[in-house]
Structure 1
Amino acid sequence: MKKKSKIKSVNGRSATQDRYTGEGQEVTKVTGLIRRGSTYSLRRRVPTDLVKALGKTEIWIALGTSDYRAAAKEARLASVRLDLQWEKHRETLKQGGKINPNDRLSEGELRRAVISDFWAREQAAAITVGDDERRENIEHEIGGLETRDPSAEAALFAQARSIIRERKLNISLPAERTVGGAREPFIPSPELQRLLELIRRADVEHLKRMIDRLEGAHGDQEHDPLFKGVNSVSVVPAQSDGITLGEAITRMQSDPTRAHLGDTADAKYVVTFRAMKELLGEDKPLATITRAECAGVQELIAGLPANVAKLEAYKTCATMREIVDLAATRTDRMLSPTTVKVYTHTLSAFFNWAVRKGLLTLNPAARLAGGKKRAKNARRPWKIDALNTIIAGLPAWSRESESIGRYWVPLIALFSGMRLGEIVGLTVNDVEKTYGEHCFVLWETDDQEYKTPGSERLIPVHPELVRLGLIDLVEETKKAGGGRLFPELPGKDQHQLSDLFQKRFSYWLTKLGIKQRGLSFHSLRHNFRDALRENGVPIDSTRALGGWSRSGIVEERYGAGVSVRTLARWVAEISYEGLDPPDHLQPVAMGV
């Protein structure tokens, strides 16, 4: 019987809804629930922001039942699943990914559902020994599954229907036939076809283990690697056991605990993730990835040419494999061993992250990059003759492009040990008098990031920098209303500032005739560290000045650290034997 009833809405006004009653039960009408033929379906409009990505404006889901109450229940569940799926699509689009409209469920989700069902059946498996008739029946069932016997296929559909409803999977099923009713047309989705094949493998595996038990074995040895480690004595498979490579990558990219690392750190993973997806497949279960497969990813990356994005010959290549195959026929410069090692470290770092998140127990790429022995081109300090050549050339190099930063940045590095990225982004507020001493004040801001937590520090300004007029420059820039200390240096952010300066400095070294492997701007920091050591600066003061992490010794974790006055005393002691004093740069010549 059907009747109208008034209900009170949230805003206090009354509205009319249909309620269906029968056998003492009342069912509220579900929006979008429509009867098609003898069974019900759910119709939902696709949200406007997802229409283009999904390529459709509405979705129809066959509910597979002619009973209204059952259909209403299934429709509500299907609506919730759709809402969750659409939220997942939005997140994918936000991360720059693409949506496959025909793939609503991942391989990992389907595997998790089937493996969990298989585990439950194995827990309930009975041990029967020496039953020849039973063995014959089991072998007959296996044969029916392998040859796709109609009765076996019908049984698979029944299992699929049970798993879909129990696991609330968003997969359409054929309508249940009523007595005397005609069969309605039904085209199985790719998800349903894949689910049926996984269930088939689970059934065959379960039956083969039953035969093992009939023969007196324990029956927990896998025949199909998909079910390795899942048996009658194993714990219930965790949700993370079946996570796929693609799902893990997406989760890592959106992990809020990694947000502080910034775009520069994430950029290192782009090539690694692409190689993993291409070689292993996004649907590859994370837990099944082997060390040999990780080595394959490493070798694929090693076969890439350097700066491949800038080479016209590779523009038509759609995959990394095509790029590698083409590179093998050409003479382009390949990625350096150091670059390949960096990508290998990101590969290992990805699996370390998965271990920390409980998605894996072991890292299959651990130590794949090799040991940490000193490379032939490892950075080393400049010799005193080369330092004198650099210092003598700074005024002319600065005037060449009317850049006062070209003069000061190398000198600040030599007499403070600061990193390039820390220097080029200095503002007038980063040099101030603190505790009676002029100091570089390095604190993280929205525009300035540092390499390690220990990088935040106070560094007293060396007397040589004061003599050359650095403090005067700061005061004059401040009075003029300036912000950055070296505003003429090109670059829109800290990363670009340091990258462009490094390239120009490296080119200038070549013009000076002193460019060598293992020597760069960063070598000035090595000179500073050696100067600290040569002048007997204690290790705690050395770490405080250079921003190097503490060793972890208990006594180093107590107290507020070395005072600014003590640091200033040690900085004043720093000198370089044989170094010619820098010339005072004439402000007028620089147009200041």
Structure 2
Amino acid sequence: MVLAMSRPSRHPKTGIFWLRKRVPSDLVARVGRAIEYFSLQTREPGEAKQRHAEAVARLEARWAELRCGEPAAGPGATTDATPSPRSLSEREAGERAGWMYAHWLGLHRENPSQQRFWPTDLYRHLWRSPGGRIEHKEDGRTAVRAVLSFAQAEKVAELEAWCRDQAETVLALHDVEADEASVLRVAKAVAAQVQRASLTLAALARGEPGVGPAPVATAAPAAKPAKAVGLIELVEAWWREAERTGKSESTRESYTNTFKQLVAFLKHDEAYRVTVEDVRRFKDHRLATRKPNGQLLSPTTVKNSDLAALKSVFGWGVANGRLGENPATDVTVARVSKVRLREREFTAEEARRLLEAASTMERGRELPQTHAAKRWIPWVLAFTGARVGEIAQLRRQDLRKEAVEGHPNGVWVLRITPEAGRVKTKHAREVPLHAQLVEMGFPEFVAGATGERLFLVPDAKGDIAGPLRGLKNRLSEAAREHVDDPGVSPNHSWRHRFRTVATESGVSGNVIDAICGWSAKSVGERYGSVTLKARADAIARLNRIEV
């Protein structure tokens, strides 16, 4: 049978240790993947070994449970025979590892001097006994001196484990059940290809003449996988798991759109055929794409939306045995420094104009919920620092009155919660209402709402994603009628202004973070909590806004 990994493998780029273990062939169908592959989330070798051992124990216990849960075969029943391990010749092993040369060059060709994972001087020590050399001392005694230092021996062991890791993965992708000797042959062939590529990279780094450009890396071994997966199929499979981990519907929509655009660009839907060069060409295509207003897509959008989608979904495909390599791993967009001509928050005059317009806005032919949003949401943003979507999706039950020490008339409290819709941090928080909002009648407005949602009408399926997106756009359009400076965001600049105003009012940073839903900046700030009284006291310190 194929050897199981006995130690964690270090990622050659990030230095983070990973577990990669082949699923027993009789359980692949039930587990749904051929390789278990996930990060151990540490760069410390000792910690990685402990986590690796614990993870392997959990995997093997789970596999044992799966086997115990299988129904016993009755008389005359047939079972699928487990394929016997194959023996690969050195030629076959070399063919299985041949793709690694181009892949390794492709990973590092932009900055060949930064390839430090594979030290070429240690290659000759792989899979050899550490041994030592005999030294004769002047007093007639002899001693054996180790050829390698302890650190070098550790690195050799790491490289051997990594090569075996790659060998097991490529054999699994080709659905080859190999014997122990064959796995070792493939691992040695992988090492030879990486050594050859690393020597080429070293020559490139020295600028030696006669060394041509590195070949384009392929996304996977040249052979087509036994079970090829389509690009759209891949992103849909990713979503089935991502949804359970809390990814938002908007992320699904964004990632799916990116993959549809990739299919249209490449004119095929086969994930295994996508190469690093394909991803680079797609990146360039997106950078040359214009939005409906005629402006080019920003490099930030291409990097944080398109490339983020490709990296995440292809990475999931590798981790779950659907793909051999992630072709988007090292593709990026150069950071562009934006020219900023002003601060990102509204000025006092801009805030006053927007709030005055909100207070005097007359309802046209729009829905009552839309008119209410234009009337109330700017005011609520001004006194809470919340994200516009968090307020736009509010429900009647998200406002209540609480007795709070030091506030004899009680405090009206907004609960911003993932139960109502998307919250970026996925954590609920409570924000007291400012007295000016109470005097203006916001609690009475909430109590008189006819539907559950204060500012939205869900679609026929009860979803709010589409209506929410439309409402945010209408709020932006309304704000732009009064503040058209492109240096500020028509909705998000309220959040910037809130921090500035709260800081001027003497509110401490950790209380502002708690009100706005920002994460703690240090370990110390994660201890303890900001009480509702502390938040209410902070909101009470904010000055009224006269319009």
2:526 matched residue in structure 1 = 557
**How far does the alpha carbon of each residue in 1:510-530 deviate from its partner, in whole angstroms, 9 at most, with x for none?**
433645343311111111122
Q: Is 2:357 the partner of 1:393?
A: yes
State the match for 2:256 in structure 1: 270
Quote the Cα distance in structure 2 between the aligned partners of 1:396 and 1:226: 62
In the alignment, is residue 370 of structure 1 matched against residue 342 of structure 2?
Answer: no
Query: Partner residue of 1:340?
Result: 302
Shift of 1:495: 2.9
Are the structure 2 counterparts of residues 360 and 524 from structure 1 closer, same or farther at C-alpha, using a change threshold of 3 Å? farther
Query: Are positions 1:471 and 2:456 aligned together?
Result: no
Deviations 1:537-587 (A, max 9, x none): 222212110011222x3323333x1110011001111237xx5x14xxxxx
After the TM superposition, which residues 480-495 of structure 1 pair with which residues of structure 2 at under 5 Å, given as runs?
482-486=451-455, 493-495=463-465
The answer for the alignment partner of 2:272 in structure 1 is 285
Q: Structure 1 residues 249, 523: closer, same or farther in 2, change over 3 A?
A: same
Q: How far 1:531 moved relative to its partner?
A: 1.6
For structure 2, the 5+ residue unaligned runs are 1-75, 95-173, 175-181, 198-214, 405-410
Once residues 372 and 514 of structure 2 are traced to their aligned partners in structure 1, the CA distance between those partners, rounded to angstroms, is 28
Tell me: CA distance 1:486–1:283, structure 2 relative to 1, closer, same or farther (3 Å).
closer
Equivalent residues of 1:421, 1:494 under 8 A apart: no
Q: 2:239 aligns with which of 250, 253, 261?
A: 253
**CA offsets 1:129-176 (integer angstroms, 9 cap, x no match):** xxxxxxxxxxxxxxxxxxxxxxxxxxxxxxxxxxxxxxxxxxxxxxxx
The answer to whether the aligner puts 1:448 opposite 2:421 as a matched pair is yes
CA deviation after TM superposition for structure 1 residue 298, in Å: 0.8
Q: Deviations over 1:39-86 (max 9, x none)?
A: xxxxxxxxxxxxxxxxxxxxxxxxxxxxxxxxxx9x9789x9xxxxxx
1:434 maps to 2:402 = yes
Determine if contact 1:355/1:361 at 8 Å carries over to the other structure: yes
Structure 2 residue identity aligned to 1:564: L
User: Structure 1 500/397 Cα, relative in aligned 2: closer, same or farther at 3 Å?
Assistant: farther
Equivalent in 470, 474, 495 of residue 525 of structure 1: 495
> Partner of 1:413: helix, strand, or coil?
helix
Match of 1:89 in 2: none
SS, match of residue 519 in structure 1: coil
- 1:499 corresponds to 2:469: yes
SS in 2 for 1:370: coil
With the length of structure 1 as denominator, give the TM-score of the two structures: 0.48
- C-alpha separation between the residues in 2 aligned to 1:489 and 1:280? 37
In 1: Cα distance, 2:456 partner to 2:238 partner? 37
Distance 1:367 1:460, change over 3 A: farther
* Separation in structure 2 between the aligned mates of residue 485 and residue 219 of structure 1, nearest angstrom: 63
The correspondence of residues 214-363 of structure 1 with structure 2, limited to 5 A, is 246=231, 248-255=234-241, 258=244, 260-277=246-263, 278-279=265-266, 281-285=268-272, 289-290=275-276, 292-307=277-292, 334-341=296-303, 342-354=305-317
Change in Cα spacing, 1:513 to 1:362, as seen in structure 2 (3 Å) is closer
> What SS is found at the alignment partner of 2:412?
strand
Q: How far is 1:532 from its partner?
A: 2.3
Q: Which amino acid aligns with 2:509?
A: I
Partners in 2 of 1:344 and 1:571 — Cα distance? 40
Name the structure 1 match of 2:345: 381
Whole-angstrom distance in 2 between the partners of 1:363 and 1:229: 8
**1:301, CA displacement in angstroms?**
2.6
Deviation at residue 459 of structure 1 after TM alignment: 0.4
1:572 matches 2:540: yes
Q: 1: CA distance between counterparts of 2:194 and 2:296?
A: 49
State the Cα distance separating 1:264 from its structure 2 match.
Answer: 1.3
SS at match of 1:120: coil
Corresponding residue for residue 385 of structure 2: 417
Query: What letter corresponds to residue 452 of structure 2 in structure 1?
Result: G
CA apart distance, 1:265:
0.8
- For residue 254 of structure 1, give the secondary structure of its aligned residue in structure 2: helix
Paired AA for residue 296 in structure 1:
R
Contact in 1 for aligned 2:354/2:483 (Cα 8 Å): no
Over 3 Å counting, the alpha-carbon distance change for 1:337 and 1:375 in structure 2 is farther
Contact 1:420–1:522 (Cα < 8 Å) also in 2: yes
Amino acid in the other structure paired with 2:259? F
Q: 2: CA distance between counterparts of 1:544 and 1:257?
A: 27
Q: How far has the Cα of 1:440 moved from its partner?
A: 0.3
Secondary structure at 2:88 match in 1: helix
1:461 aligns with 2:461: no
Letter in 2 for 1:467: E
The structure-2 alpha-carbon separation of the partners of 1:120 and 1:357, relative to structure 1 and needing over 3 Å to count, comes to same
Distance 1:367 1:550, change over 3 A: farther
Q: For residues 257 and 451 of structure 1, do their structure 2 counterparts lie closer, same or farther at Cα, with a shift above 3 Å needed?
A: same
Instruction: Quote how far apart the aligned CAs of 1:249 are.
Output: 3.7
Q: Distance in 2 between matches of 1:367 and 1:517?
A: 30
C-alpha separation between the residues in 2 aligned to 1:294 and 1:365? 10
Cα distance in 2 for partners of 1:531, 1:449 equals 26
Number of positions where the alignment pairs a residue of Structure 1 with one of Structure 2:
346
CA distance in 2, matches of 1:242, 1:225: 24
What is aligned with 2:6?
none
How far apart are residue 533 of structure 1 and its match? 2.4
Q: Give the Å deviation of 1:449.
A: 2.4
2:424 corresponds to which letter in structure 1?
Answer: K
Task: For 1:379 and 1:350, locate their aligned partners in 2 and report how far apart those are by CA, in whole Å.
Answer: 36
Change (3 A) 1:242 1:570: same
Please give the alpha-carbon distance, in whole angstroms, between the structure 2 residues aligned to 1:228 and 1:474: 55
CA contact (8 A) 1:418 1:525 kept: yes
Superposed CA deviations along residues 162-191 of structure 1, whole A, max 9, x for unmatched, are xxxxxxxxxxxxxxxxxxxxxxxxxxxxxx
When residues 242 and 488 of structure 1 are mapped into structure 2, their CA distance, relative to the original with a 3 A threshold, is closer
For the structure 1 residues 465 and 365, does the alpha-carbon distance in structure 2 shift closer, same or farther, using more than 3 Å as the test? Answer: same
**CA–CA distance in structure 2, aligned partners of residues 418 and 125 of structure 1:** 59
Name the amino acid aligned to 2:523.
V
Which structure is richer in relative contact order (CA contacts within 8 A, separation 6 or more)?
Answer: 2
Contact between 2:220 and 2:324, CA under 8 Å: does it hold in 1? no
